[in-house]
C-alpha cells in the first residue's frame, strides 16, 4: 500500500482550520488491519488491571492488534504474557475471557500442557519422543510491564522504550516527572467497572476525548462542575493545566456536591480541586481528580466497533468503608455515554461523500493534529 496522505480534495482550509484524516481512515477494513499491525501490535497496550489477576493461576485473555494474548499470574506471583496459541496444532489455549487454573494450562484439543511460566511440561506420548526439546516448544512470550496498577503488553519483537512512550506521555501532559505519583494509582482498587460496546472507530473516540469543543453542547453535568470547559478548551490542551472546579462545587460528582470521602492522601494543594485528562497513545485515557481516578482502556475490535473498559479507582479504605460511590461514578458514566453516542452519530457519516476528504479542526482542537500525524506516520510505508 502506498504511503498515507492527508486530505487533498477539500478546499484549502482557513488559517484557523486544519484538516482531519480522510473518511476512509474510519471505515476501510484494510486500513484498520494495517493499524492493528503497525499500531496496536507495535506499541505498548494497556491490557488489564493488575488486580484482575490476584492469585497464582488467574488468567485473562485480551485481543491485542488481532492477536489473542494470555496474561497469567505464576506460582511466583509474577505476571507473564503469552500468545494464546498451543504450539502443537495452533488451538486456542484458553477460550474464556478470564478464569483460574490450579498449576498448569492445558490445551483442550490434544492436551499439551504448559506451566504457568509458559514452559511445555507434558503432552501425550511426549516421553517417547526423545529428540523433542521441550524448551523449544513453550508458549510464545509477549513483553509485559506493570505501571499505574496496569498490565501493559507489547507484541513487537523489539518493543519501544516504555519510558519514552508510555511514561513520557503522562509526564508530558502533567509537566512533571513525579506528579503522577501523587495519586498513588498502583495502590487504588476498582470501585466500579463499566464496559461499553461502542459502534464507532477507535480514532473517533480518541479525538473526542482530546477536545472539549463539544462540552458545552453535550456535557451539561460536566460543565457545571468544570465551568471552564464551556469555553471549549480541554484540560489537556495546556501542559500541566488542570481544569478548576467551580467555586460552589463540592466534588467531582454528578450533582457537584461532596463525594463524602476525603481526597487522596498524596494529592497536594496544587492539584486539589482540579481535573486532569491524559491520553496515552494508542488506547488509554487517564482522568485524575482529587479523590479518585478514572482509567479507560480501549479494545478496537473492528473498523467500526470499539470496546471500552472504564475503571473508577479509589483507596481501599473507601471501598472497605462501604462508601456510596454512585454520585462519583455517575458523573463520568454520563460523560462516557454522551461521548460514545456522539461518536456513534459520526461513524455512519465517515463513509459519506461529504467526508471523503475529511473534516477540519478548529483552534481549540489543533492538538488533535498531533494525534492525526502520529497515526498517519505509523501506518505509512
Taken in order of first residue, the domains within the chain and their CATH numbers are 7-41+164-379 (3.90.380.10), 45-147 (2.102.10.10)
CB-based burial, 174-195: b 16+ in 10 Å, e otherwise: beeeebbebbbbeebbebbeee
CA angle centred on 75, ends 295 and 100, rounded to 5°: 60
With contact defined as beta carbons under 8 Å apart, do 48 and 62 qualify? yes
- What's residue 96's pLDDT? 96
Taking only the tens of pLDDT, the chain with its 381 residues reads: 444 444 445 556 667 999 999 999 999 999 999 999 999 999 999 999 999 999 999 999 999 999 999 999 999 999 999 999 999 999 999 999 999 999 999 999 989 999 999 999 988 887 777 777 777 899 999 999 999 999 999 999 999 999 999 999 999 999 998 999 999 999 999 999 999 999 999 999 999 999 999 999 999 999 999 999 998 877 666 788 999 999 999 999 999 999 999 999 999 999 999 999 999 999 999 999 999 999 999 999 999 999 999 999 999 999 999 999 999 999 999 999 999 999 999 999 999 999 999 999 999 898 899 999 999 999 998
20: nearest Cα among 362, 341, 278: 362
Spatial separation of the C-alpha atoms in residues 87 and 114, rounded to whole Å: 10
What integer pLDDT is reported at residue 124 of this predicted model?
A: 80
What local confidence, expressed as pLDDT, does residue 233 receive? Answer: 77
Nearest to 272 by CA among 280, 286, 282, 262: 262
- The C-alpha atoms of residue 91 and residue 85 are separated, in whole angstroms, by 6
**Cis bond upstream, residue 87 (ω within 30):** no
**SS3 track for 24-65:** HHHCCHHHHHHHHHHHHCCCCEEEEEHHHCCCCCEEEEEEEC
Give CA–CA dist 59/143, Å, rounded. 16
pLDDT at 128: 78
Q: How many CB atoms lie within 10 A of CB 304?
A: 21
Question: Max Cα separation, the chain?
Answer: 76
The pLDDT of residue 306:
98
Cell 488491571 belongs to 49
User: Is the distance from CB of 225 to CB of 249 less than 8 angstroms?
Assistant: yes
Q: What is the structure's pLDDT at 1?
A: 42
d(CA 131, CA 137): 12
CA–CA dist 49, 258 (Å, integer): 27
Cell output for 348:
455512519
Q: What is the pLDDT of residue 173?
A: 94
354 by Cβ neighbours in 10 Å (0-12 / 13-18 / 19+) ranks as exposed
Residue 234: predicted pLDDT: 72
Amino acid at each position: 500500500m502506498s504511503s498515507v496522505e492527508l486530505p487533498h480534495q477539500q478546499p484549502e482550509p482557513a488559517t484557523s482550520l486544519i484538516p482531519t484524516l480522510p473518511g476512509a481512515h474510519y471505515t476501510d477494513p484494510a486500513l484498520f488491519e494495517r493499524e492493528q499491525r503497525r499500531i496496536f501490535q507495535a506499541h505498548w497496550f494497556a491490557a488489564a488491571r493488575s488486580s484482575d489477576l490476584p492469585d497464582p493461576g488467574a488468567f485473562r485473555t485480551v485481543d491485542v492488534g488481532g492477536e489473542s494474548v494470555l496474561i497469567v499470574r505464576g506460582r511466583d506471583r509474577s505476571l507473564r504474557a503469552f500468545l494464546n496459541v498451543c504450539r502443537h496444532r495452533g488451538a486456542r489455549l484458553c477460550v474464556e475471557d478470564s478464569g483460574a487454573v490450579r498449576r498448569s494450562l492445558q490445551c483442550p484439543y490434544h492436551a499439551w500442557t504448559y506451566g504457568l511460566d509458559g514452559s511445555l511440561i507434558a503432552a501425550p506420548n511426549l516421553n517417547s519422543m526423545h529428540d523433542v526439546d521441550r524448551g523449544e516448544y513453550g508458549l510464545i512470550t509477549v513483553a509485559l510491564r506493570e505501571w499505574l496498577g496496569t498490565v501493559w503488553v507489547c507484541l513487537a519483537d523489539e518493543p519501544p522504550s516504555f519510558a519514552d512512550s508510555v511514561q513520557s506521555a503522562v509526564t508530558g501532559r502533567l509537566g512533571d516527572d513525579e506528579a503522577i505519583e501523587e495519586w498513588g494509582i498502583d495502590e487504588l482498587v476498582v470501585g466500579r467497572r463499566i464496559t461499553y460496546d461502542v459502534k464507532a472507530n477507535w480514532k473517533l473516540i480518541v479525538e473526542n476525548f482530546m477536545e472539549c469543543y463539544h462540552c458545552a453542547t453535550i456535557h451539561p453535568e460536566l460543565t457545571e462542575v468544570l465551568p471552564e470547559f464551556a469555553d471549549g478548551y480541554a484540560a489537556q490542551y495546556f501542559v500541566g493545566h488542570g481544569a478548576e472546579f467551580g467555586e460552589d462545587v463540592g466534588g467531582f460528582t454528578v450533582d457537584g456536591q461532596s463525594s463524602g470521602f476525603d481526597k487522596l492522601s498524596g494529592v497536594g494543594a496544587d492539584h486539589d480541586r482540579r481535573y486532569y485528562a491524559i491520553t496515552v497513545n494508542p488506547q488509554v485515557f487517564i482522568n485524575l481528580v482529587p479523590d479518585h481516578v478514572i482509567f479507560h482502556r480501549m479494545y478496537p475490535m473492528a473498523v467500526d466497533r470499539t470496546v471500552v473498559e472504564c475503571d473508577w479507582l479509589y483507596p481501599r479504605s473507601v471501598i472497605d468503608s462501604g462508601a456510596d460511590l454512585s454520585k462519583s461514578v455517575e458523573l463520568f458514566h454520563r460523560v462516557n455515554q454522551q461521548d460514545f453516542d456522539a461518536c456513534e452519530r459520526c461513524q455512519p457519516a465517515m463513509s459519506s461523500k461529504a467526508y471523503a476528504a475529511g473534516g477540519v479542526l478548529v483552534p481549540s482542537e489543533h492538538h488533535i493534529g498531533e494525534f492525526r500525524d502520529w497515526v498517519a506516520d505509523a501506518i505509512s510505508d
